[in-house]
Structures are given as C-alpha cells and as structure tokens.
Amino acid sequence: MKPLVIFIGFVLISLISSAQDVTGLVKKVKTRLDRVNDYVAEGRMKTDVAFIKAPAGKVKIFFKKPNKFKLKRDGGISILPRGGVSVNMSSLLTSESYTAFSAGESQINGTTVKVIKLLPSAENSDVVLTTLYIDEANLLIRKASTTTRENGTYDMEMSYGKYAEYGLPDKVVFSFNTKDYKVPKGITLEYETGEKPAADKLKNKKGRIEINYTAYTINKGVSDKEFL
C-alpha cells in the first residue's frame, strides 16, 4: 500500500509543479505584453471569406489598455467576426482568472513551442478554452486557438520581427469557420453571387484574414474617441 501512496504523491507533486511552471511562463509573456499601454498600427489586410467580395486594403488599428481595440479600414469595411476575438495578443490575457495546463510541445514553422491550455475560472465567460503555443526562448505567442460559447473557434498565427520586444507581431493570420460567422451590426456585405449563400454552403468553410503590419506607434497615447 505504501508504494502506491508514494507513487500517487509523486504524481500529484509533478502535476502541481507542471501547473506552476506553465502559469509562470504565461505570466512572463503577459509581463512583456503589459509594457504596451497603447498603440496605433498601420498595415494592409487581405480577407478571404467564402462567397464574400473583400479586396485587400490599408488598415489602421488602435489599442488601449485594458481591452480597447478598433480596426479601421480605408475605403471599406472591417470584416471581423462580431463577438469574436480581436486580432490582438493582449486581449487573450486581460484576465488572470484561469487555470493553466501543460499540453506538451509542438512545432510552429520550425520553432519548438510549449502548448498551454487556459481554462477560464468564471462560469459566465464566453471563452470556453484558449490554447497558446508559446515560444519559451523568446517569450512570444506563435499561435493561439480560442473556443467560445457563441462564436465557434478562432485561430491566430503570428510572425514577429521589428517589434518582437513588445510582443507585437509583424503579421497575423486570423482564421475561423464561416458557419459561425456573424456580421457586425449595421454592415451589409457584397456577395460574389449577388445574394447571401445558404447556411449549409458555408458549413466547414474557412474564413481567413491576414494583416501585415508596416508600422507601430507605441505608448504615445490614444484618445478614447478613436474607439467610438
């Protein structure tokens, strides 16, 4: 009986130690992101959503702590799913009310990453589960997958360069399933066939939004009016 008790004890200690390690890693990543109080970013957005006409165009993105985020597109609309996760890293870690679990390691474009699952503590949270793929050596989130109650699952994959020290990507690829797509209120879309396709035709189709950032202005102040 004693060997079994000792074995269970070792297992529990190992699990607790692992949870502490991954929680510590997430906090280190958050500390880097917390250096950014606000930013204004410029870039170019390409949208590939089934049946929707959406030419590439310039965008301007505004962020302000703790969770204000707005994307403005020149000469067109911003086609981001309503109620979904914004293409912004800080939005993933605004709350510390979660339990972190290690899910091993993986590879993202040749980089070894730690896979960490975040389970929200709040019962009424719209987010059910977030999976982070963290480049531990550089404290960067290379990929994130978030499952919500109302809007399906959203994936983000990030590439870094000039602004990596702030945890800000040079490129974000945001993907989602079109069957969960909810058009922002007050927006009318132009469809390739002239009319909105039937829901069954959207099932299991992937929507993809790519933003390539050309410049960031960081911690210079952003007016609240930009988010109205």
pLDDT in tens, 19-65: 457 889 999 999 999 999 999 999 998 888 766 666 778 989 899 98
Q: Are 180 and 228 in contact, with CB atoms under 8 Å apart? A: no
Cα dist from 144 to 34, 85, 101, whole Å: 18, 10, 14
State the Cα–Cα distance between residues 76 and 225, nearest whole angstrom.
20
Higher-pLDDT residue of 189 and 49 is 49
Q: Are 149 and 38 in contact, with CB atoms under 8 Å apart? A: no
Higher-pLDDT residue of 44 and 72 is 44
For the cut 50, the answer to whether the pLDDT of residue 91 exceeds it is yes
**pLDDT band (50, 70, 90) for residue 200:** low
Higher-pLDDT residue of 88 and 188 is 88
Neighbouring C-beta atoms of residue 132, cutoff 10 Å: 25
β-strand pairing of 171-177 with 111-120: unpaired
Beta strand residue intervals within the chain, DSSP E: 38-48, 57-64, 68-73, 98-108, 111-120, 127-135, 140-148, 153-159, 171-177, 206-218
Neighbouring C-beta atoms of residue 107, cutoff 10 Å: 10
pLDDT at 174: 86
Q: Which two tokens stand for residue 184?
A: 């922002």
Higher-pLDDT residue of 43 and 182 is 43
Q: Are 40 and 61 in contact, with CB atoms under 8 Å apart? A: yes
User: What is the layout of strands, in order, in the sheet containing 171-177?
Assistant: 68-73, 57-64, 38-48, 206-218, 171-177, 153-159, 140-148, 127-135, 111-120, 98-108
Q: Domains, the chain, ranges and CATH? A: 2-227 (2.50.20)
State the Cα–Cα distance between residues 2 and 212, nearest whole angstrom.
59
Give the helix/strand (H/E) hosting 27. Answer: helix 2-33
